[in-house]
Structure formats: structure tokens, C-alpha cells
Structure 1
């Protein structure tokens, strides 16, 4: 499947420091039509930083993209939305290939007990080390610290 970048070019700054900057809003994997539909949704909902007090907002379709023009008290500010095919990404996450299982290797049946040691909370040691089954806040920080309740600490 093709990966598409949803690119935004927008006016930032004000006065003599006003200039255009480009950002990649998101990536969409699928067809170009799906990427354009997502881009249009984002263009409709986009709220630019400038102008602070918009007087008029116009969203225009421009070929395979969109142009948002927002008039302020003194100046107009433009934002261009474009779909572009992602050809290369130097900071893309590396996906490790799945290890292949050797023929005849034993798999544990679902009804067989696991051979891993289980602590009093019912978690395996691996799960406890990786933090699985731990209650967390929305930002990923555990609600209860790992050292809480340990009796081997001073």
C-alpha cells in the first residue's frame, strides 16, 4: 500500500517576520482518494494561529489540495493543504521482521499452564518487568510506583 503525507504550508509570524513554514500533519496508508478525504476533513477543521481575530474564512479546492484564506483586520493569511506520496523517510521507525518458528517447535496450548513463574498479583515476571497490566495515567506514567510496597528497600 502507498503511504501519503498530508502536508500543510502556512503563514506564521507577523509584520516583518511573517513567512511560510511547511509541516507534515499526518501519514495515511491507502489510496490517494482516502488521503484526500482525510486532508479535506483536516482542512475544514483547521484553525490557524493567525489572524487572532479572523473576519472572513474561505476554503478553496485547488487541484488535488485545498487553500484556506483567512482575512484578518489588516492582512490575509493563507494555508495550503497538499497530499504527497511518501518516497523516503530518514526517521521512519524500523520494523523488525517476525522470527520464523522452526518446524516441529512446541507451542503451548491455550489450556496448558504457562511455565513462567507467577507473582502474588497473578502476573508473570516478564509482564511485571515490561509493565504490562499496570494501571497508568493518560501520559503513560504508572499510577503506583514500582517501588511501592517493596520490603527489600530501606
Structure 2
């Protein structure tokens, strides 16, 4: 089993949100990446955005968290995604070029998020709101099991 501790940014311009995916994959994610040991989530997010796409980011308010689990090559995977508002000055009219050949970034209209296979799936409702919730968001893709 592998556990992933991840910081992700909600980067919006108007009614568009920035997504990322592995080239050739149909699943998309919010931009960000793994938090290294001893690193705070906002610092990790700013670092990942700059490493992956030379995005200079002002990481803002904590929005919430989303957990998820899945199988990868038959092995159980689990993740906690910490979500933050991010200001970048980017425009949805301008492409975001990846520094990593295996990733591609693109803008999508928030109201069309269901068509873009965003994971964790629980984030789709958050994106459709097009505004930050008044209390911290919690989303889960893990089925509730009785103890």
C-alpha cells in the first residue's frame, strides 16, 4: 500500500479552472503535488507549481481536504489532498506550458467539470460552486465502512 500526502491549488480565472493530467490519461487533477517530509503544505504547493509549470503562486486560504483511494497495478493507494486558494495572475486565455513532458495543463469552464473526469471525484461539487465554501470542505472517495 502507498500513501500520498498532497497539496493542490484551486487556480481560477473568471469561470475557468486550471487542471492537469498525465499525457494520454483521461483523469484530471488540480495542480500541485506531494508534500515532502518537513515541508509545509503551502510551501510544497508553491514549489510544485513552479517546478511543474514555472507558475509563480501566492498560496492563500486553506479550502479543505479530500481523501481518496484506488488500485494501481493491483496495489492499494490512498491520498489526502490539502486544498488551497491560489493567486497566479494567469489568464484562461493563455496556455500553461508544462516543464514536465508527462504532464499537460489546461483551462476548463467550471460548469463543465463533470466532462473532465476530475479526481478525487468529490472535488467536482466544489468546482461547480465557483466560490470558496464558508467552512472547510471535506470530500471523500472512500466508501463508509462500519467499524
| TM-score, length basis structure 2 | 0.23
Higher strand share: 2
| TM-score, length basis structure 1 | 0.22
Larger Rg: 1
